[in-house]
């Protein structure tokens, strides 16, 4: 997953949000409230079942894109995570050599180099593994992820309501895949002030204003009412420089805040809750504070594990109607039908080597539209046609066009 590709004003906000926020803290110094209003920040809650979450991913038909401009046509989920295909068109500047002749008796050829823009399509398959997610948040129409390896990713939905649905669904998959080695970062209610550079945000002057002479710790920018941070008595302009005996060194950018998160995630990963004894510099004095954070994912993981497992549905297959035909199939999704411009049909998932279906010319990935002149609305409509054991004609959608296949008399 990428984080380095985020760019522009939106990208700058998301970069800091993903690397510093995880699923918890919003860094006030970098939040552009006209782009991401504070009341659009949302902490997700796992859903009742994995099936509910998978249904959200597979049924939502909306516009998606990644933080770096890739268009995503469809999300495809199962218990282990979410897959999708990304594509975008970019303009690359390419040089082109042209041979010119000066003319005349002694004219010479010479080469002129020009530069022109060429549109290039970039595409690849992407994967969000549920067992690597440490934190999730929804902000405006973005869903952000903070991974256990401290990388991040942003997924853009059509609007905030869709982003909230996706965040809850991702939280469900996160809980379903949570184990002893997993990492989790909770919503502490802390907001840190991040200094990108001494020139842009003069940290030494800010710390000097507060009377702190050591370049260590993270500077609190505020706390959410009713949050664990507020309950611990942490205040704006507090400098947290130690947690559970571990120093938090200062570094420009989000690294100091990430160091704090590492301490939290290491202590909380396999526990329902953890308490952190903090040392804080406040008003010229060092004062203690005790911050207690909970890990609700463990509870949700246990609930999902204890829930009765529904019978595993068998993949739709024609085998029940006529085992010897040799295909597995399913109904076309609404997106597939809309994209291809067909009113109905059946998606061919696999074709057995040497089977009658292979002899007919069917291929995996075909959209089967007609058999024996009868249009196929869905899988159920195909079964009785194949049960007769005779195929005189078939029509498929393949590679963007309609293809009529040869006949197979019987099977």
Q: Give the H or E element holding residue 120.
A: strand 109-129
> Tens of pLDDT along 300-318?
777 777 665 555 444 444 4
pTM over 0.75: no
Q: Outline which parts of the chain fall under CATH 2.30.29.
A: 8-93+118-176
> Tens of pLDDT along 24-52?
343 333 332 333 333 445 778 888 888 89
Q: What is the DSSP track for 200-257?
A: TS-HHHHHHHHT--SSBSEEEEEE-TTSHHHHTT--TT-EEEEETTEE-B--TTTHHH
How many CB atoms are located within 10 Å of the residue 106 CB? 6
Write down the pLDDT at residue 308: 59
> Tens of pLDDT along 341-367?
788 888 887 788 778 888 888 888 888
Write down the pLDDT at residue 136: 84
Per-residue pLDDT of the chain (411 residues; tens, 9 = 90+): 333 333 233 343 444 444 444 333 433 333 323 333 334 457 788 888 888 999 998 887 766 776 567 777 778 888 888 888 777 777 777 777 776 666 655 556 667 777 877 777 777 777 888 888 888 877 778 888 878 877 777 788 888 888 889 999 999 999 988 887 788 877 788 888 766 665 556 677 778 889 988 878 888 888 888 888 999 999 999 999 999 999 987 766 555 567 788 888 888 877 888 999 999 999 999 999 999 998 878 877 777 776 655 554 444 444 344 446 778 788 877 767 777 778 888 888 778 877 888 888 888 888 888 888 888 888 888 888 877 777 778 888 887 788 888 766 555
CATH 2.30.29 fits 8-93+118-176, yes or no: yes
Answer CATH for 190-294 from 3.40.50.300, 3.40.190.10, 2.30.42.10, 3.90.950.10: 2.30.42.10
Write down the pLDDT at residue 280: 96
Look at the domain 318-405 and name its fold: Pdz3 Domain (2.30.42)
Average pLDDT, the chain: 75
Which candidate, 126, 161, 128, 123, places its Cα nearest to that of 144?
A: 128
Angle at 224 between CA 222 and CA 228, to 5 degrees: 105
How far from chain centre, in Å, is Cα 357?
A: 38
Q: Outline which parts of the chain fall under CATH 2.30.42.10.
A: 190-294, 318-405
Q: What are phi and psi of 352, to 5 degrees?
A: -70, 135
């Amino acid at each position: 997953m990428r984080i380095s590709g985020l760019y522009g004003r939106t990208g700058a906000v998301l970069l800091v949000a993903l690397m510093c926020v995880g699923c918890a803290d919003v860094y006030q110094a970098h939040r552009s409230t006209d782009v991401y209003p504070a009341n659009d920040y949302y902490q997700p809650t796992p859903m009742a079942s994995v099936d509910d979450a998978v249904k959200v991913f597979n049924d939502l038909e909306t516009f998606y894109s990644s933080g770096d401009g890739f268009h995503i046509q469809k999300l495809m989920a199962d218990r282990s995570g979410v897959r999708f295909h990304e594509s975008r068109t970019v303009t690359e500047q390419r040089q082109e050599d042209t041979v010119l002749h000066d003319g005349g008796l002694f004219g010479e050829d010479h080469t002129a180099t020009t530069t022109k823009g060429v549109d290039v399509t970039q595409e690849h398959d992407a994967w969000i593994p549920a067992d690597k997610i440490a934190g999730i948040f929804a902000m405006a129409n973005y869903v952000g992820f903070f991974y256990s390896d401290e990388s991040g990713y942003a997924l853009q939905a059509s609007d905030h309501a869709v982003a909230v649905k996706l965040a809850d669904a991702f939280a469900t998959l996160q809980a379903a895949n949570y184990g002893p080695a997993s990492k989790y970062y909770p919503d502490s209610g802390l907001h840190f002030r991040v200094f990108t550079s001494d020139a842009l945000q003069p940290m030494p002057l800010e710390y000097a204003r507060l009377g702190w002479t050591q370049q260590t710790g993270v500077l609190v920018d505020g706390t959410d009412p009713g949050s664990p941070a507020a309950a611990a008595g942490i205040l704006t302009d507090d400098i947290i420089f130690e947690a559970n005996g571990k120093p938090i060194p200062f570094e420009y950018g989000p690294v100091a805040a990430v160091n704090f998160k590492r301490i939290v995630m290491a202590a909380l990963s396999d526990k329902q809750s953890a308490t952190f004894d903090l040392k804080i510099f406040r008003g010229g004095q060092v004062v203690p504070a005790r911050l207690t954070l909970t890990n609700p994912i463990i509870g949700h993981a246990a609930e999902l594990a204890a829930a009765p497992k529904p019978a595993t549905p068998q993949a739709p297959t024609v085998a029940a109607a006529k085992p010897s035909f040799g295909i597995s199939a399913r109904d076309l999704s609404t997106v597939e039908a809309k994209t291809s411009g067909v009113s109905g049909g059946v998606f061919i998932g696999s074709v057995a080597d040497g089977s009658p279906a292979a002899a007919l010319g069917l291929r995996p990935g075909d959209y089967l539209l007609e058999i024996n002149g009868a249009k196929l609305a869905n899988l159920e409509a195909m079964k009785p046609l194949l049960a007769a054991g005779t195929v005189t004609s078939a029509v498929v959608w393949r590679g963007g066009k309609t293809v009529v296949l040869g006949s197979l008399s019987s099977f």
